[in-house]
Each structure stands twice: as structure tokens, then as C-alpha cells.
Amino acid sequence: MSSALPIGIFDSGIGGLTVANAIRKILPNEQIIYFGDTAHMPYGDKSPEAIKFYSLKIAKFLLDKNCKLILIACNTASAHAYHELLHFLGDRIPILNVIDPVVDFMVQSGTHKKIGVIGTKSTIRSDIYAKKFKEADPSLDVSSLATPLLAPMIEEGFFNNNISKTVINSYLSSPKLKKIDSLILACTHYPLIKPEISAYYNGKVDIINTAEIVADHLKERLKGLKLLNEEPAKRHQFFVSDYTPSFAKSTRLFFGEKIHLSYKPIWD
Ligand code: DGL
């Protein structure tokens, strides 16, 4: 396989662009093909069956685009569809999720004992973080809280203001998150409110930015597979299953620069 082929990245919408952004920073030679399933967003309140169905269609699309690897840049789809996609892709191309690299990173760091996790209803209901931490190190205490208002709030541009502060403070003051030493932002939208979350804890809790951990993991994985691209990247491509000007406007917040979104219905 040629290392010049693109990396396929997908999310329920535009939140996964935070991961794509972290990736382009540390892997500037890699071409990204991004698919945001804006027609079905949010995944956070969908059934596992629906999430599997959508994810499979998207993986087929990225495979047809000749991607050398697929990254599920969505915690909800990682929780419910990773094994399905692993099975579907077989030994054709590798697939990564955004959960395993974070669990490995935290277990290896060995400095966290009481870990909080915030994410969508569907991610938290799956209990995937607690299960994986338990397998890796049963001495860790993991407490998870669904924070369903955060993703739509961020997508509507409500952050760094009084409304977001009130919502964030109300979630973080939950008894479930008492005495945590670290908090995993288990939704790819949340890096945008990391400063507000850090401010709430006043530096006393380690806020885990999953986007950067996943980007580092991807780099190591590509290195191991001898698939790191040495040449300058071709232009990134961004597809969405439903186009609205408001998505187009929000992309700058998530990706750090203006990008062109192409409408691509893949459900026929
Ligand atoms: N970006 C998705 C995640 O990481 C959440 C948004 C949604 O509910 O679709 O879980």
C-alpha cells in the first residue's frame, strides 16, 4: 500500500474536526478525507443499531476513496461500531477508535487513580471507558456522567459565555464527579470548552484532551505500519451528509481555519 494515500476520518458531525485538527498539526504530510454525518447527528441519542448502520456506510465510502486507514473520530461511534467495522474491514485497512489510545495513555501514565468521564448519553450508557479501564487496571476508580447538552450547546456557538458557564458548572458539580483527579473529555466536541472546564477545577484536576492523544497514537501507528507519508500532503477533503451554512460556519471553530464542505449523500 502506498503511504501517499489519504487517512479517512469520520464523526457524527463536525466535532471530529477537533481530532482532524490535532492530526494535521503533528502529521502535516498526511492527506485527510473527512466525513461528517450531519444528516444523522447527534449520534448521542441514537440506538447502537443505528450507529452501527451509519458507521458501516461511512466506512464503505472511505474505503472507496482509497484511504490507507480509517479513524473513528467520535466516541459514540467508537463505543458502538468499532468491532463491526473491524470485522467489515478485515485485513484490508486498519481502523482506529478514539477510546483505546486514551485508556492506554492514562494507564501507562500511572498518575491517575480516580478518573471522571463525560460524554454523550450513548457513550456513557455503553460504560465502555469503565469496562476498558477495569480490564487494564482494576485498581482504578472510574465514574462516568452523561452531559448531553454540551455537544449541541457548543455546535450552536455557546461557549465562553455565561450560558455555557452555567451549564458546565451544573454538570461538573454532580456528586458523581466528586474528588476526581482527572477528567476525560469523551466527546470530540469538548476540546472547545476545555478552558472553561479547567477554570471550573482551578487547575486541580487533569483535563484529558483526547484529540491530542489520538493524534500521537495515529502517528506511532502509521510509523509502525511504514505508512507515514514523506511527501507534502494533497489537499484535504471534507464531506457532509447534510449541508447547511451554519455547519460551514462552525467548521472554523473546530478545525481552526475555513474549509470547504462538500455535500455527499451516501444513503441511497
Ligand atoms: N462527537 C460525538 C462524540 O464524540 C458526539 C456528538 C453526537 O452526539 O453526535 O461522541
Residue ranges lining ligand 1, Cβ < 6 Å: 11-13, 15, 41-44, 74-76, 119-120, 123, 151, 187-189
Q: Are 42 and 151 spatial neighbours (Cβ–Cβ below 8 Å)?
A: yes
- Angstrom CA distances, 77 to 44, 74, 95, 181, 182, stand at 9, 5, 12, 27, 23
DSSP-assigned letters across all residues of 125-177: HHTHHHHHHHHH-TT-EEEEEE-TTHHHHHHTT--SSHHHHHHHHHHHTSGGG
Q: In terms of domains, do 191 and 108 share one?
A: yes
Pocket test for ligand 1, best of 14, 18, 43, 129 (most atoms within 8 A of CB): 43
Residue 171's pLDDT is 98
Q: Classify residue 2: in a domain, yes or no.
A: no
Distance from the alpha carbon of residue 75 to the mean position of ligand 1, in angstroms: 6
Q: Judge whether 180 lies within some domain.
A: yes
256 inside domain: yes
**165 found inside a domain:** yes
Task: State whether 134 and 197 are in the same domain.
Answer: yes
User: Do 141 and 183 share a domain, yes or no?
Assistant: yes
| Same-domain pairing of 176 and 249 | no
CATH number of the domain that 74 lies in? 3.40.50.1860
Same domain, 224 and 91: yes
Residue 57's pLDDT is what? 97
* Nine-digit cell string for 128: 465502555
| Amino acid 177: pLDDT | 98
Same domain? For 165 and 133 the reply is yes
Residue at 268 is within a domain: no
Residues 168 and 137 occupy one common structural domain? yes
Considering the domain architecture, whether residues 193 and 105 belong to the same structural domain is answered as: yes
Indicate if 201 and 230 belong to the same structural domain.
no
155 in the same domain as 254: no
Q: What is the pLDDT along the chain (268 residues), one digit of tens a residue?
A: 899 999 999 999 989 999 999 999 999 999 999 999 999 999 998 999 999 999 999 999 999 999 999 999 999 999 999 999 999 999 999 999 999 999 999 999 989 999 999 999 999 999 999 999 999 999 999 999 999 999 989 888 888 999 999 999 999 999 999 999 999 999 999 999 999 999 999 999 999 989 999 999 999 999 999 999 998 889 999 999 999 887 888 888 899 888 999 999 997 6
Q: Are residues 144 and 194 in the same domain?
A: yes
Does one domain contain both 178 and 92?
Answer: no
Decide if 36 is inside a domain.
yes
Q: Residue 155's pLDDT is what?
A: 81
**Total domains in the fold of the chain:** 2
pLDDT of residue 1: 86
Give the per-residue pLDDT at 158. 86
Q: Is residue 1 part of a domain?
A: no
